[in-house]
Amino acid sequence: MTDTTQAAPRITQRGLWFDEMDVGTIYEHRPGRTITEADNTWFTAVTMNTQALHLDAAYAEHTAFGERLVNSMFTLSTLVGLSVSQLTQGTIVANLGFSEVTFPHPVRHGDTLYAETEITDKRGSRSRPGEGVVTFTHTGRNQDGVVVARAVRKTLVRSKPAEGA
């Protein structure tokens, strides 16, 4: 018997090259991420953030919120993480920093975080040929569409390699 099958095309998941990013484009990252009590407790403990508002139900019950809230650093990490496969998987060189981070509404256990990213600026690197600086504005919304987090982040991203490189 002769094998007449051809090799199937192979596609590797990656983010966008610097050249593929356009200022003003907004990417909606799906699926969202439902945040559980276990997520919050684990992240809070592993990062040594002993803030009672995240860990102590009896304490949190007597705050203005009436319950424990999700650690804002977990919210920020998840917000950025939701963008990785679509924007920077395998194409980022470095995370250069955050210039603004805000949390206008609390995240609670059971909330689902949805993320979107707008490309707000880009320029070629002056010191690193074949790379460029991209500014992202990440926005996180809960399941009701309420903005719960916003972060402005600069990254260094590779340009598309030349054919055959």
Q: What is the pLDDT of residue 91?
A: 96
Tens digit of each residue's pLDDT (9 = 90 or more) over 102-158: 999 999 999 999 999 999 999 999 999 999 999 999 999 999 999 999 999 999 999
Q: Is the pTM of this model over 0.75?
A: yes
Q: 151: Cβ–Cβ under 8 A, 6 or more apart, which residues?
A: 76, 79, 80, 98, 100, 101, 102, 137, 138
Rounded to whole angstroms, how far apart are CA atoms 65 and 51? 14
Is residue 5 very low, low, confident or very high in pLDDT (cuts 50, 70, 90)?
Answer: confident
List the chain domain ranges.
Answer: 18-158
For domain 18-158, give the fold. Thiol Ester Dehydrase; Chain A (3.10.129)
Cβ burial of 101 (10 Å; 0-12, 13-18, 19+) is middle
Q: Give the residue among 124, 153, 122 at the shortest CA–CA distance from 136.
A: 153
**Under 8 Å CB-to-CB from 99, ≥6 apart: which residues?**
152, 153, 154
